């Protein structure tokens, strides 16, 4: 045996309009939108001087790049990319978007059909700051609550009074021995047991120390009864047989908040896209850098060739002019 926590059965809540975003956590959505915008800018930069479909000015080219990025993300690209950096970037982006869309689609149906429940207390770890009641007969429950620095719990003498306080909201939860809690939970469908059994306590049969043979016989009989399923039959008769309610909160509901895909499991996709984009940028910049240094070398060669030409002074120019005039006065035979 041991202690367990009992609360009022959670009620269903209606889906809010943005519940379609639940399959991913917020950081994954931010990463997705940032990747789409970044790829759109890269498409315009890589294609603006090579593709007739892409405008060269930023005012018209950047929105067009975002349009192609979104259509690629939705697996519907309709432009023939001319540059290898753009082709490499879009190829990696299509692979990343394929995984993201498939993951989102697989989880969306489960999130839309799963019952949304408000579960403020899921076990003993959520009792801090809550109003907790216990039984005056359960000394272990009272001692455990006090040992957890819990505020003074409400102690009830009568069982009906204890559960009436839970129904009316006077207490948020009840900590009591597990068998009577589950026994009542099978009969009261508006209440449910949450969490695991804790503060385990064993029951024993007292035997006189000199009756060693009797103790062995009792142990053997208990083992036999357990192996034959007698304990399960007792549980089915005295617990499951007294009511039709489900006494436990299902595990899938208890863990529903952690089902969303987080960035911890998808960061490798965005890292892959950034690495490929970096390689594409290097490929795009390589011919630009080569042409820059080639033009610089050509400009230096032109400067050197101009400096090597012979200079003509003013005196030489006057002498050349005089000789030309003398030659012009000599008649040719």
* H or E segment and range at residue 41: helix 26-47
Query: Each residue of 176-229: pLDDT tens digit?
Result: 888 888 888 888 888 888 888 888 877 788 888 888 889 889 989 989 988 988
- CA angle at 88 for the pair 83 and 94, rounded to the nearest 5°: 125
Instruction: Among 61-70, 243-252, 266-275, name the one with the lowest average pLDDT.
Output: 243-252
Closest by CA to 207, choosing from 194, 197, 221, 226, is: 221
For 139, residues 6+ apart whose C-beta sits below 8 A from its C-beta are: none
- In this predicted structure, the answer to whether residue 115 has a pLDDT above a threshold of 80 is no
Cα–Cα distance, 276 to 91 (Å, whole number): 9
User: What gap in Å lies between CA 30 and CA 23, rounded to an integer?
Assistant: 14
Spatial neighbors of 187 by CB under 8 A, at least 6 apart, are 242, 243, 245
φ/ψ of 24, rounded to 5, equals -120, 150
SS3 63: helix
pLDDT of 114 reads: 59
Instruction: Give the pLDDT confidence score for residue 91 in this predicted structure.
Output: 92
Opening angle at CA 165, ends 187 and 245, nearest 5: 15
> What's the whole-number average pLDDT of the chain?
80
């Amino acid at each position: 045996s041991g202690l367990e926590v009992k609360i009022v059965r959670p009620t269903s809540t209606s889906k809010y309009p943005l519940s379609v975003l639940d399959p991913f956590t917020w950081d994954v959505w931010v990463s997705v939108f940032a990747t789409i915008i970044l790829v759109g800018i890269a498409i315009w930069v890589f294609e603006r001087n090579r593709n007739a479909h892409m405008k060269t000015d930023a005012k018209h080219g950047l929105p067009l790049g975002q349009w192609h990025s979104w259509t690629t993300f939705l697996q519907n690209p309709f432009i023939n990319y001319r540059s290898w950096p753009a082709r490499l970037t879009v190829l990696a982006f299509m692979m990343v978007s394929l995984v993201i869309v498939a993951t989102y689609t697989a989880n969306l149906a489960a999130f839309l059909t799963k019952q949304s429940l408000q579960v403020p207390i899921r076990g003993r770890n959520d009792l801090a700051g809550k109003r907790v009641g216990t039984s005056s007969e359960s000394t272990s429950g009272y001692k455990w609550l006090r040992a957890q620095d819990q505020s003074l719990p409400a102690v009830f003498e009568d069982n009906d009074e204890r559960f009436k306080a839970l129904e009316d909201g006077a207490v948020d939860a009840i900590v009591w021995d597990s068998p009577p809690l589950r026994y009542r939970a099978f009969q009261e469908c508006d209440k449910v047991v949450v969490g695991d059994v804790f503060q385990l306590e064993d029951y024993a049969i007292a035997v006189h120390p000199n009756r060693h043979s009797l103790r062995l016989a009792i142990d053997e009989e208990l083992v036999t009864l357990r192996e034959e399923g007698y304990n399960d039959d007792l549980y089915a008769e005295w617990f499951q047989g007294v009511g039709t309610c489900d006494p436990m909160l299902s595990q899938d509901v208890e863990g529903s908040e952690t089902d969303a895909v987080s960035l911890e499991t998808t960061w490798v996709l965005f890292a892959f896209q950034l690495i490929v984009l970096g390689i594409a940028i290097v490929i795009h910049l390589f011919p630009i850098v080569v042409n820059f240094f080639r033009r610089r070398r050509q400009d230096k060669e032109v400067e050197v060739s101009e400096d090597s030409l012979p200079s003509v002074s003013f005196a030489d120019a006057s002498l050349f002019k005089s000789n030309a005039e003398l030659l012009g006065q000599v008649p040719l035979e």
